[in-house]
Structure 1
């Protein structure tokens, strides 16, 4: 069975479409756990109606600790997962009918390679759509200028390449993670980092989701000016913020790190203390890049 974890907050406008897309999956052996983060709209009422229709498939878990935010909301949901695999769901997307089966097949392929002993994460591409589900781009990774193959520890420390709403993790990875720390940048970034240290990451170059863009959920650079894009990316290159995440990561998983990865994490943590010359040297030495051109420009703008 696959556990599906959905975090909700004021999602009345789109949640029905997402629930219908999960119910319509060609793979049927799933259980959906929902945790609401204190919605003020009609979200809970909509969920209740679906629970009455599908009492064995949908469960709304206790939400006494309200307003945890997205990452800690998913952290609470992970504690509820007990089955071999779990997936993560946003409230406003639409899953394509074979999302679960495609992802699960890839996961099982990888587990055969490693004899089911390795903590694994599998994620996919997405189709980017507007609020009315009109196609904006057939590949999120091209749209957002992300290379999903750049998923080694040194690159993930700088930028996440795993989109949470496409993730499936096996129980071995879930148990290694145990919880999502409040200091992390986002739950999917944290999970990807842990997977890169303790297990492996598999990518499927197929979109399995309609990734709805609306309001504050916009992605990608909208400017036609290359200069504006570079300035925006440079401002987003927050070494200090990410080094704080790396510090928590090192404290939590140092026992899993080999000598090379241990050095990579420790030197990344120290970046905020280096002068510009040493900082640039360490960045180049450890290849802390995800997009080569932009990151190299960012490197010279970040001091």
Structure 2
């Protein structure tokens, strides 16, 4: 079986503290035909210099201007530029553990698999483990209903087939987060897989652009209503497309 090619879609913004290490942890696992796409929103630190310098040394790294409209649009932009078979999502401040790409690609040998997500350890800015298993900490599970009520999908641990691109982007304006949307569309199109092994250090620090805090009840109700609306709209799209 021919080995699938990999695109890594990274959204970057003011990430000078950790992005160099993250890039190295990714590139060590990529083949010559793979690519790392970095969508860079305007930054006030040294992020641009760091990623452009790495791109000069490695033809697999492609830096593109970000839309400067927030993290969801930044990821959308990165995904739009990907060219390969399997698309991995990457945050700028995490760290990929050895074997991640190879293990995830193995699951895509099943043609019905759309999205694969592995476990992660939650660490602080000094890489001290705070929670050994994100799956256990968040009670991660599959299922459309389950993930509309309580989202388990986390982009930094996810990869998906490139054929999903035309179905997931542009991201609907009303969705709360892009990773939840990708996971749900994957479940509608085929099947998703959870890998119980840890292949990422998920770094939490004061500069994170997203966190794991719960929103207020009104906001959560609104998000669920908006998500339900978009999922029903997508189902009608699939039905009409045949």
TM-score between both structures, scaled by the size of structure 1: 0.71
The answer to which structure, 1 or 2, has the higher relative contact order (CA under 8 A, 6+ apart) is 2
Q: Distance in 2 between matches of 1:125 and 1:256?
A: 30
1:123 equivalent in structure 2? 117
1:26 to partner: Cα distance: 6.6
Q: Distance in 2 between matches of 1:9 and 1:89?
A: 13
Secondary structure of the equivalent of 2:149? coil
Matching of residue 74 in structure 1 with residue 65 in structure 2? no
Secondary structure of the equivalent of 1:206? strand
Q: Which runs of 5+ in 2 are unaligned?
A: none
Q: Point out 4+ residue stretches in structure 1 off by more than 3 angstroms.
A: 26-29, 216-221, 232-237
Can you list the C-alpha shifts for 1:45-87, whole angstroms capped at 9, x where unaligned?
A: 0001101111x11001133x3x211111111111112221110
Name the CA shift for 1:233/1:62 in 2 (closer, same or farther; >3 Å): closer
Using the TM superposition, name which of 1-10 and 245-254 deviates more.
245-254
1:62 equivalent in structure 2? 65
Q: Which runs of 5+ in 1 are unaligned?
A: 222-231, 258-303
1:88 equivalent in structure 2? 89
Matches within 5 A, 1:142-291: 142-143=136-137, 145-148=138-141, 151-215=142-206, 217=208, 235=217, 238-256=220-238
Secondary structure of the equivalent of 1:215? coil
TM-score between both structures, scaled by the size of structure 2: 0.88
Greater share of residues in strand: 2
Number of aligned residue pairs: 234
Secondary structure of the equivalent of 1:162? coil
Secondary structure of the equivalent of 1:195? helix
Root-mean-square deviation (Å): 2.2
